[in-house]
Amino acid sequence: MTNKTQHLHILGICGTFMGGIAALAKELGFRVTGCDAQVYPPMSTQLEQLGIELKQGYQVEHFDDEPDLVIVGNAMSRGNVMVEYMLDRNIPYMSGPQWLLENILKDRWVLAVSGTHGKTTTSSMLTWILEYAHLSPGFLIGGVPQNFDCSARLGNAPFFVIEADEYDTAFFDKRSKFVHYRPRTLVINNLEFDHGDIFNNLSDIQRQFHHLIRMVPSNGLILSPKNEVAINETLAMGCWTPTEQSDCENGWQVQKIVADGSEFKVIFNGIEQGTVKWSLIGDFNIDNALMAIAAARHAGVPSHIAIEALTEFINTKRRLELRGTVNKIKVYDDFAHHPTAIAKTLAGVRASVEQECGDNRVIAVLEPRSNTMKSGVHKDTLPDSLCQADHVFLFQGEQVKWSVNDLIENCQQPCIIEDDISQLVAKITDYAQSGDSIVVMSNGSFDSIHEKLLKSLSLKYSTG
């Protein structure tokens, strides 16, 4: 597509990825409209500020303006009235990842960040490092990187950073999104079973990752941790690209200076590169930082510059984000929705608490909301992932297909189950005491429980 005056209509425009596509298309000069089941902030606000016309719901009338091309989000399925109308009338359509490849990525040095966990944070770190080094990268990140005022931009050639998701592309293309990205630099943070709604087992996911590995050129680079069995198995299926690994003597290593991960030395091939001292905590963020530093080095950024950049990195929203403090009770918001991510998040908070004052408590508040979590795939491993908490509160949502109450007998610490948000807030408020760290974990809005909890705690201590 070369005529940039063409009209694109995006189905499912308010998702972070599709909203990013919309912003990039607008920046390229296309006329962009879109619709979604719910048009809601912050994405709706961002898009409206760009001059993109948004329409509520899925109605065939939204096609009255006759788009030249429909970009179909992966939330769309057969039976949707706009999808059926589009197919019946032979309106040209394309997936978001395919459009991205054909219009932007095919001419860029793509740095793709993949893996079960840490994609958004690592992508944000890498983008910031390149920006700090005055390379003005393009990017599309599935979150809100706080060192920038947007989640997507074209930037200046050649570099483009993208969060490489293994979820499927569209109802008509069941390959993972990332097979469309053609990276020159590929980060694979980790590899575990997830997305039980579209994958049957880990082997299914490894097959998609190997499709991605096959596309990385011989003058590219693949970065991964050394001791990830599933990644090593996937690379063993065939790899034609140089690799670098972390956690090994002939690769990237760290030496922690502070136990909670807020300060650490970076080592490459046995040579110290510098010290990161930043506001983030947790070993998982150290892992993310190593991958970002290594990927930036492949793009020509010296390690000491990358380390300087990370001292000014502000973590992505909803990645262990401190939402407020009341009477020395900290309320965090985290996107963790997989047992491994939950365990790593709580371990990071525990290390920070022990460093400050070992007697303070960690309270875990969890909404099993992802499709995989709701189906019960992870219910047997979930109790162990919560072991770093002193007390656990779990929300039994209507769409959870298994009884969260089953966790009570398997949890190592006291566990309270609640199916009403108001009651859940009341019980957490009643239990909380000064010095506690409350970690709220969900990949959804969790009915704005963070604001409700902070308000409830404020009321408790203003009247108590």
* Section 206-213 average pLDDT: 96
The least confident of 7-21, 52-66, 350-364, 365-379 is 365-379
**pTM, rounded to two decimals:** 0.79
Encode pLDDT of 271-326 as tens digits: 999 999 998 888 889 999 999 999 999 999 999 999 999 999 887 667 778 888 99
Q: Is the pLDDT of residue 420 over 70?
A: yes
CB 115 within 8 A of CB 192: no
pLDDT at 401: 63
What is the pLDDT confidence band of residue 403, given thresholds at 50, 70 and 90? Answer: low
SS3 290: helix
**β-pairing, 391-395 with 415-418?**
parallel
Q: Is the pLDDT of residue 258 over 50?
A: yes
Between 337 and 7, the more confident residue is: 7
Encode pLDDT of 154-203 as tens digits: 999 899 999 999 999 999 999 999 999 999 999 999 898 877 778 889 99
CA 252 from chain centre, in angstroms, equals 23
Q: If we measure between CA atoms, which residue out of 61, 83, 81, 79 comes closest to residue 71?
A: 83
Encode pLDDT of 378-390 as tens digits: 677 787 888 888 8
Q: Can you list the positions of beta strands (E) in 101-206?
A: 109-114, 138-140, 152-153, 159-163, 168-170, 173-176, 185-188
Q: Can you list the positions of beta strands (E) in 46-202?
A: 53-56, 69-72, 93-95, 109-114, 138-140, 152-153, 159-163, 168-170, 173-176, 185-188
SS3 272: strand
CB 363 within 8 A of CB 298: no
Between 402 and 62, the more confident residue is: 62
What is the pLDDT confidence band of residue 416, given thresholds at 50, 70 and 90? Answer: confident
Q: Which domains does the chain have, with CATH numbers?
A: 7-94 (3.40.50.720), 104-310 (3.40.1190.10), 321-463 (3.90.190.20)
Q: Can you list the positions of beta strands (E) in 20-137?
A: 31-36, 53-56, 69-72, 93-95, 109-114
Phi, psi of 271 (to 5 degrees): -110, 125
